[in-house]
Amino acid sequence: MGVRLTRLASVAASAPGKVTLFGEHAVVYGQPAIVGAINRRVTVSIQETGDATFRLRMPDVGEGEAILRLRNGEVKLQSSEPRLRMAALLVSAAMSQVLQEPEKLRGASLRVTSEMPVGAGLGTSAALVVATIAGFSSLLDEKLDTKTMVELARRAELSVQGSSSGMDVCASVVGGMNLFRRTRSSIQFKKLQPREALPVAVGFTPRILDTAQTVRKVAEFRKRKRALVDAIFECIGLVSNRAVQALRDSDLESLGELMNASHGLLSALGISTRELDEMVNAARGAGALGAKLTGAGMGGCVMSLAQSFDKARKIDRALELAGGHPLKLSFSPVGVRVEEATSERM
């Protein structure tokens, strides 16, 4: 009697993080925003094991593992090291979105690595969800078009975090710089092609609140002062629209001015902190053409624009002196991709 060998499939998929140039928070209420994918990625490596469980490891976040199980067509978190819990919830939500035929899926071990700090507002959650969806759809031989992948990833993020405009997952799927807008019924995104690479300096400081909490904080402010907050959102949308032309013309002076205006408007929403303001001021003091908080705020990252790449490195030092951690990142045209796959399934 011959021995039947079953070849277990493996795949690695990666997706980029993002920096929001303009429009954060207002984008949740339908205003346009500009978001750029960055050269830091989250990679999800999946190796089928053939048993009934999914074991997740994430060495950058903590030791130990999370265990996920497939039940009634949905992937549920069974147990987790506390530090891996959020990532494990995002992975299980992402997997649940791609499991049209759960019986096709075998257990697997998953390893997640990140080239950027987790929870810094650089879209690591979105990148994790997108890379997980890309990895499992490749493993299951399901082709997803861009729009579908954005929508599935947005649903997964939404189910865990309770709010998501879809902007971060869009940047992660398509890469490059995009003008993004979410209306009541649809998501629209359009590639922007800046003529030259932007010399940016980005610094990071730990966050006080996560994205969902910060989005709630803004929603509560809007409940109390609706006309004021809606007027701030309108202005943020105006800044995004003006920035589109400035980006097309590579008009750095104008972009810097718009970034300063944007920081003022986000501060007016109550989401800046002393640490963020200190980094913004330090960047401006070191010659930045403009600086703003980027992402949800309440800590996280500051983005500043320099006249040249040399000057951006000087701003890095100023950010460090102000208590920030310079990230030396740049924008990237590369969206989600499957890095390697051995997909002979039997």
Quick one: tokens of 38? 């960055």
CA-CA-CA-CA torsion for 206, 212, 218, 219, nearest 10 degrees? -170
**What residues numbered 94-123 form the site for ligand MEV, per CB under 6 A?**
121
Give me the least distance between CB of 164 and ligand MEV, in Å please.
Answer: 5
Number of H helices and number of E strands within the chain? 9, 13
With CB under 6 A as the contact rule, the residue among 167, 200, 298, 315 that binds ligand MEV is 167
Residues 54, 44: Cα–Cα separation, whole Å: 13
168 is catalytic: yes
**What residues numbered 276-305 form the site for ligand MEV, per CB under 6 A?**
295-296
Q: Compose the 198-227 pattern: x for residues touching ligand MEV by CB under 6 A, - for all others.
A: -------------x---x------------
With CB under 6 A as the contact rule, the residue among 11, 12, 15, 28 that binds ligand MEV is 28
Q: What sign does the dihedral 317-318-323-326 (CA atoms) show?
A: negative
Contact (Cβ atoms closer than 8 angstroms) between residue 75 and residue 69: yes
Total residues contacting ligand MEV (rule CB under 6 A)? 15
Identify which range of 9-17, 76-84, 165-173, 230-238 contacts ligand MEV by CB under 6 A. 165-173
Q: Give the CB-nearest residue to ligand MEV.
A: 165
Residues 35, 331: Cα–Cα separation, whole Å: 10
- φ/ψ of 64, rounded to 5, equals 85, -170
- Structure letter (DSSP) for residue 210: -
Quick one: tokens of 86? 């959020």
Identify which range of 62-70, 162-170, 226-234, 277-285 contacts ligand MEV by CB under 6 A. 162-170
Quick one: tokens of 314? 């000087």
Instruction: Give the nearer residue to ligand MEV in terms of CB position, either 35 or 91.
Output: 35
Give me the least distance between CB of 165 and ligand MEV, in Å please.
Answer: 3
With CB under 6 A as the contact rule, the residue among 14, 25, 160, 319 that binds ligand MEV is 25
Residues 206, 117: Cα–Cα separation, whole Å: 10
By the rule CB under 6 A, 27 interacts with ligand MEV: yes
Residues 208, 179: Cα–Cα separation, whole Å: 28
168, 210, 277, 316: the catalytic one is 168
Identify which range of 20-28, 70-78, 97-105, 280-288 contacts ligand MEV by CB under 6 A. 20-28
Instruction: Give the nearer residue to ligand MEV in terms of CB position, either 27 or 252.
Output: 27
Give me the least distance between CB of 295 and ligand MEV, in Å please.
Answer: 4
Instruction: Give the nearer residue to ligand MEV in terms of CB position, either 28 or 319.
Output: 28
- φ/ψ of 20, rounded to 5, equals -85, 120
* Beta-strand relationship, 10-22 and 108-114: unpaired
**DSSP H/E element including 233:** helix 226-248
Give me the least distance between CB of 171 and ligand MEV, in Å please.
Answer: 9
Instruction: Give the nearer residue to ligand MEV in terms of CB position, either 57 or 182.
Output: 182
- Bridge partners, 202 (sequence order): 303
Quick one: tokens of 168? 């971060």
- Structure letter (DSSP) for residue 331: B
Instruction: Give the nearer residue to ligand MEV in terms of CB position, either 57 or 292.
Output: 292
Give me the least distance between CB of 42 and ligand MEV, in Å please.
Answer: 15
Amino acid code (one letter) for 113: T
Residues 76, 69: Cα–Cα separation, whole Å: 5
Instruction: Give the nearer residue to ligand MEV in terms of CB position, either 28 or 70.
Output: 28
Query: Catalytic amino acids?
Result: 168
Residues forming the site for ligand MEV (CB under 6 A): 20, 24-25, 27-28, 121, 163-165, 167-168, 211, 215, 295-296
